[in-house]
Homo-oligomer: A and B are copies of this chain.
Amino acid sequence: MSYQERKGILRFPKATFERLKLYHAFLSQIHAEGKIYVLSEDIAEMLRITPEQVRKDFSFLETKGKPKVGYVIKELLDELDELFGTGVDENIIIIGAGHLGSALVNYKGFKNIGVRVAAIFDNDPRKIGTMVGDLMVLPLKDLSRVIRRFKVKIAAICVPESAAQQVADLLVGHGIKALWNFSTRILDVPPNIIVQNEDITRGLLGVKHMLAESEKSSSIDAMKVNEG
C-alpha cells in the first residue's frame, strides 16, 4: 500500500506536517554530506526544537529508530520523499517575467521536490518572445493551450499587486487548481482553489518584530522561524 493510498487514513497534525518539511530539508543536507545515522538530538538542535518533538513527529511515520544509534537517514528521507511526492513531477507555470518571475525560472531547487517550470508568461509585448533562462516568454493568449498540454495545476503569480487579482481570476478561469502567490495582494478566489501566499514582506515583519523584542530583553528563545 502506497502513501498515496494510506494518506486518507494516516493523517498528520498540521504542525507536524510543517516540521516534516524541515526534517526533509535537513535530512537531504546531511545525506548529501555522506552521513548515515542521525539522532533526534542532532535534528532538534539544528531546527531549534526539542528532541522529544522530533521523536513524536517521527512516531507518525513508519520509519523507526534504534536506541543509541538513531535513525537511518536514507530510510527517513525515502519515506518523506514518497510522502511529499518529490518523485512525481508537477508542471507549473509562471505569470510575470519581471525580476522575480525570472528568478523562479532559473531556480535550481525545483528538481529536488519534483517540480518543473513548463512556461513563463507576460502581457508586455517587449518581453514576449525574449528568453528567460531556457524558456521563451509567452503571451497570455497561449495560457489555455499550455495548461492543457502540460496538465498544469499550479501557477505562480509574479505580477505587480495591482494586476494580481485579475491574473488570479484568469488562471482560475482556465482551470488552475493552486495559486502560488508572490504578490502582496490577498487574493479572492473560490474556496476550492488552493492559495499559497509567498509574500516575503511578511517574513520580514516578523524579523523586525523579533529584533525589536531582543533589543529590550536579552533572554530570547524560539527565535528561529520557519516558513510553512
Contacts and interface: CB of A to CB of B under 8 A. Distances in A.
A31 interface: no
Contacts of A90: 208, 211
Interface string A192-213: 1111111111111111111111
A4 B191 CA distance: 38
| Count of chain copies | 2
Closest 7 CB pairs of A and B: A99-B103, A103-B103, A195-B224, A100-B103, A26-B186, A197-B226, A194-B223
Given A196-B204, A202-B228, 5 more contacts: A21-B202, A85-B209, A177-B214, A194-B214, A194-B223
A22 B100 CA distance: 21
Interface residues of A, number: 80
B108 A160 contact: yes
Contacts of A185: 29
Given A21-B202, A196-B206, A198-B200, A211 B153 contact: yes
Nearest to A158: B103
Given A25-B184, A216-B8, A84 B227 contact: no
A25 B103 CA distance: 24
Contacts of A174: none
B110 A201 contact: yes
Interface string A107-131: 1111011110000000000000000
Contacts of A153: 211
Contacts of A109: 161, 184, 199-201
A178 B224 CA distance: 9
A114 to B, nearest CB: 7
A136 to B, nearest CB: 17
B160 A180 contact: no
A188 interface: yes
Interface string A152-195: 01100000110000000000000001101000111010011111
Contacts of A203: 180, 196, 198, 227-228
A220 interface: yes
Nearest to A218: B192
Contacts of A106: 98-99
